[in-house]
C-alpha cells in the first residue's frame, strides 16, 4: 500500500517503507544500449575532444573512446569507457539501502529532455542526453595576460522515485575531465515520531505535537573508468600522497615537525583496493609505461578527489564493496558493475564473473596492463528546510587531470 503525506509542501511518497516505486532495469548488457552518438568538438583555442556517448539501461549515460588533442598537437586516447557502475543510497536508520543502478537503472529511468532544458545546446540519444559548450572562466592568468577556458559537456537526467539525478561529464579545453553528479527532486524519506530525531532534520512546525523528520542518507556514486592512455595496453597506476618529513631538505633541517613534507609515489603492481586519506592529499596517477611527452616523462592522468567525507557500510556482511574508495583491476569484459555484477545485469555468458568490485581484486598484475580504475564519490545529505518542496541542486564531482600528458600548458601553441 502506498502512502502520501504533505508537510510544509514536502510530498513524501512510498511503498511500505516509504520508498517510491521505480521502474526496474531489465538487463544491462552493451547490446541493450541505445542512441550512440559521436561528439567531436574543437574549441576556440584549437584543442579538441572526440568521444561517443550512449544510453545503457543500468549505467545510463556511458562515455566511450574519449581522445584529446592539445593545441598544435596530436590526438591521444584517454578513456576507453567511463560510466557510473552503482549508486548506493543507504538511509541512516538502517533501511532502506537501495542500489539505484542495478535495482532500478539510470538509463531505464532516464527522462526525455526538452529544448528549454538544453538551452543553447544539442539534444542527443533520443532526446535523453544534452550536449552543451560553455565558458568555464579563466583557463589561466598571469599579471595582465589571461585566457578564457571552454568546456563541452554531456548530461542525462534520471528519475528514481522522488530523486532526480543529473549525470554530467565535462570535457575541458585543457584536457581535464570532470564527472559530476547533480542531486535534486524531492525528499524520499519522511517519518513521523520523536524517535527519528537523531536520524534526520525536523521539517514541520515546532508547534506540532507529532514531529516530522526528513531522514538523512548517503549517496555513494561508484564510477568505472577504463583508462586506455595512448591505447589499451601498457598502463600502470601509482598512488600519490603528501607525507610530513623531518629528514633534512636542501634548504632546511626540517627538524621541527610541520616544517617540511615530501611527495610520495607508490606503484600499485597488483590489483588492489585502497582508502582515501584526506590528510595525505591522496590522488592516483594512471599512465602509459611506453609513451612519453616531449620532456621524456610518461604520459598520464591524475584522479583528483573532491572529498566531502568518508563512510563504510555493512562491510562484514552484505556490503564488502563499501569498505574502500578506490580499486584498480585488470580489464575484464565481464566486470562492468561495482555491485550486482551478474546476469541479467551483465551478459549471460558472464555468469561466473565476480559479483562486486571487492571480489574483482584477486591478485592479477596491473603493471603494464589494460587497467580499470573504480572510484566512489560520497555525499551525506542531511535534509534542511530549504529542501522543501523541490530540492536545490547539489553537485559532487572529481577530476581527471592531465599529468605529463603534455610538456607544457596544452592551450599554448
Residues tagged active-site? 100, 163
Bridge partners (DSSP) listed for residue 207: none
Residue 281 exposure: Cα atoms within 13 Å on the Cβ side: 11
Tell the burial category of 6 from Cβ atoms under 10 Å away from its Cβ (0-12, 13-18, 19+): exposed
Reading the block at residue 132, the C-alpha cell is: 552543451
For residue 313, the tally of other CB atoms under 10 A from its CB is 17
Sign of CA dihedral 395, 326, 322, 65: positive
Sequence-ordered list of residues with C-beta below 8 angstroms from that of 400, at least 6 positions apart, any chain: 78, 176, 177, 178, 179, 225, 301, 302, 303, 304
Bridge partners (DSSP) listed for residue 145: 142
In angstroms, rounded to a whole number, what is the distance separating the alpha carbons of residues 39 and 235?
Answer: 25
Residue 353, CA distances (Å) to 103, 254, 294, 345, 348 in order: 18, 51, 41, 12, 10
The bridge status of strand 2-7 relative to strand 10-15 is: antiparallel
In angstroms, rounded to a whole number, what is the distance separating the alpha carbons of residues 197 and 220?
Answer: 23
Contact 123, 37 (CB under 8 A): no
In angstroms, rounded to a whole number, what is the distance separating the alpha carbons of residues 256 and 215?
Answer: 46
Amino acid at each position: 500500500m502506498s502512502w502520501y503525506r504533505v508537510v510544509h509542501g514536502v510530498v513524501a511518497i512510498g511503498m511500505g517503507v516509504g520508498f517510491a516505486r521505480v521502474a526496474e532495469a531489465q538487463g544491462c548488457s552493451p547490446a541493450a544500449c541505445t542512441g550512440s552518438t559521436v561528439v567531436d568538438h574543437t574549441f576556440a583555442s584549437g584543442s579538441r575532444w572526440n568521444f561517443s556517448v550512449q544510453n545503457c539501461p543500468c549505467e545510463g549515460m556511458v562515455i566511450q573512446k574519449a581522445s584529446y588533442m592539445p593545441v598544435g598537437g596530436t590526438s591521444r586516447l584517454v578513456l576507453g569507457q567511463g560510466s557510473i557502475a552503482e549508486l548506493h543510497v543507504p538511509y541512516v536508520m538502517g533501511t532502506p539501502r537501495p542500489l539505484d543502478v542495478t535495482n532500478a537503472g539510470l538509463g531505464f529511468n532516464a527522462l526525455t529532455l526538452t529544448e528549454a532544458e538544453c538551452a543553447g545546446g544539442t539534444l542527443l540519444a533520443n532526446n535523453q542526453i544534452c550536449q552543451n559548450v560553455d565558458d568555464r572562466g579563466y583557463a589561466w592568468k598571469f599579471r595582465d595576460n589571461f585566457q578564457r577556458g571552454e568546456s563541452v559537456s554531456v548530461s542525462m537526467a534520471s528519475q528514481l522515485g522522488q530523486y532526480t539525478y543529473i549525470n554530467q561529464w565535462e570535457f575541458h579545453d585543457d584536457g581535464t575531465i570532470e564527472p559530476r553528479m547533480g542531486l535534486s527532486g524531492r525528499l524520499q524519506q519522511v517519518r513521523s515520531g520523536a524517535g527519528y530525531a537523531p536520524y534526520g532534520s525536523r521539517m514541520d512546525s515546532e508547534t506540532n505535537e507529532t514531529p516530522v523528520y526528513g531522514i538523512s542518507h548517503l549517496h555513494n556514486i561508484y564510477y568505472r573508468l577504463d583508462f586506455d592512455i595512448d591505447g589499451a595496453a601498457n598502463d600502470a597506476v601509482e598512488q600519490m600522497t603528501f607525507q610530513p618529513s623531518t629528514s633534512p631538505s636542501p634548504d632546511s633541517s626540517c627538524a621541527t615537525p610541520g616544517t617540511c613534507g615530501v611527495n610520495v609515489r607508490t606503484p600499485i603492481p597488483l590489483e588492489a583496493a585502497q582508502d582515501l586519506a584526506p590528510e595525505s592529499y591522496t590522488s592516483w596517477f594512471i599512465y602509459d609505461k611506453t609513451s612519453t611527452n616531449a620532456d621524456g616523462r610518461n604520459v598520464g592522468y591524475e584522479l583528483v578527489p573532491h572529498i566531502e567525507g568518508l563512510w563504510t557500510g555493512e562491510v562484514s556482511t552484505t556490503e564488502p564493496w563499501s569498505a574502500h574508495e578506490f580499486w584498480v583491476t585488470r580489464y575484464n569484459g565481464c566486470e562492468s558493475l561495482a555491485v550486482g555484477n551478474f546476469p541479467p545485469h551483465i551478459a549471460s555468458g558472464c555468469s561466473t564473473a565476480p559479483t562486486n568490485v571487492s571480489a574483482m581484486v584477486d591478485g592479477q598484475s596491473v603493471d603494464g596492463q589494460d587497467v580499470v580504475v573504480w572510484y566512489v564519490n560520497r555525499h551525506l545529505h542531511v535534509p534542511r528546510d530549504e529542501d522543501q518542496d523541490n530540492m536545490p541542486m547539489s553537485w559532487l564531482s572529481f577530476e581527471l587531470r592531465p599529468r605529463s600528458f603534455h610538456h607544457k600548458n596544452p592551450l599554448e601553441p
